[in-house]
Amino acid sequence: MKVAFVGDHETPFVRRTLDELRALVVARGHDVLDGSATPVLPDDVQLVFNSTSADEPRPNYLRQRPSQLVCTLVEARAPQESVSRAAYRVLVKTMSNLLVYAVTDADPPASFMMTPELGNQELAHDAQHAARIADKALALAGARWVIDNDVVADLPEHLWQGDDHVRSMQRVGRELDGLGLLPTVLPLEDLLSERDRRVLMKVFGITQLSYGNLSTRRDASSFWMTGRGVDKSSLHDVGRHVLLVTGLDADAGRVRVSVPPGTDARARVSVDAVEHAMLYRDFPRIGAILHVHAWLPGIDSTRQSWPCGSVELAQETLDLVARQPDPANAVIGLVNHGITATGPDLDTIFARIASRLERRVPMA
Question: How far out from the chain centre does Cα 213 lie?
Answer: 11
In-domain check, residue 364: no
Instruction: Tell me what the pLDDT averaged over the chain comes to.
Output: 88
Whether residues 96 and 24 fall in one domain = yes
Whether residues 110 and 161 fall in one domain = no
> Is the pLDDT at 78 greater than 90, yes or no?
no
> Is the pLDDT at 185 greater than 50, yes or no?
no
With cut-offs at 50, 70 and 90, classify the pLDDT of residue 43.
Answer: confident
Look at residue 106 in the predicted model and tell me its pLDDT.
86
Give percent of the chain with pLDDT exceeding 70: 89
Look at residue 60 in the predicted model and tell me its pLDDT.
86
> Of the ranges 5-9, 150-154, 297-301, 320-324, which one carries the lowest mean pLDDT score?
5-9
Backbone dihedral angles phi then psi of residue 71, each to the nearest 5 degrees: -115, 115
Looking up residue 25, the CATH number of its domain turns out to be 3.40.50.10300
In-domain check, residue 362: no
303: Cβ contacts below 8 Å, ≥ 6 apart: 316, 335, 364
Chain segment 253-272, per-residue pLDDT in tens: 999 999 999 998 888 999 99
Domain boundary among 141, 170, 202: 141
pLDDT mean over 112-126: 84
Whether residues 159 and 130 fall in one domain = no
Looking up residue 253, the CATH number of its domain turns out to be 3.40.225.10
In-domain check, residue 201: yes
In-domain check, residue 351: yes
pLDDT mean over 198-219: 73
DSSP for 41-61, written as a single string: --TTEEEEEEE--SSS----S
- Domain total of the chain: 2
Whether residues 120 and 165 fall in one domain = no
Whether residues 135 and 65 fall in one domain = yes
> Is the pLDDT at 279 greater than 70, yes or no?
yes
Can you give the residue range of the structural domain that contains 159? Answer: 148-356
Chain segment 225-248, per-residue pLDDT in tens: 999 888 899 999 999 999 999 999
The Cα 231–Cα 303 span in angstroms is 28
With cut-offs at 50, 70 and 90, classify the pLDDT of residue 358.
Answer: confident
The Cα 316–Cα 293 span in angstroms is 18
Q: Do the beta carbons of residue 295 and residue 338 sit within 8 Å?
A: yes
> Is the pLDDT at 345 greater than 60, yes or no?
yes
Whether residues 93 and 213 fall in one domain = no
Whether residues 265 and 215 fall in one domain = yes
Whether residues 13 and 74 fall in one domain = yes
With cut-offs at 50, 70 and 90, classify the pLDDT of residue 59.
Answer: confident
Whether residues 125 and 170 fall in one domain = no
Q: How far is CA 132 from CA 1, 109, 113, 157, 264, in A?
A: 18, 16, 10, 52, 42
Whether residues 64 and 168 fall in one domain = no
Look at residue 16 in the predicted model and tell me its pLDDT.
95
In-domain check, residue 196: yes
In-domain check, residue 361: no
CA angle 356, 360, 364 (to 5 degrees): 115
In-domain check, residue 363: no
In-domain check, residue 202: yes
Whether residues 152 and 137 fall in one domain = no
pLDDT mean over 52-72: 85
Domain boundary among 141, 161, 187: 141
Q: Are strands 254-258 and 242-249 parallel, antiparallel or unpaired?
A: antiparallel
Domain boundary among 99, 116, 141: 141
> Is the pLDDT at 101 greater than 90, yes or no?
yes
Whether residues 16 and 119 fall in one domain = yes
Backbone dihedral angles phi then psi of residue 103, each to the nearest 5 degrees: -110, 95
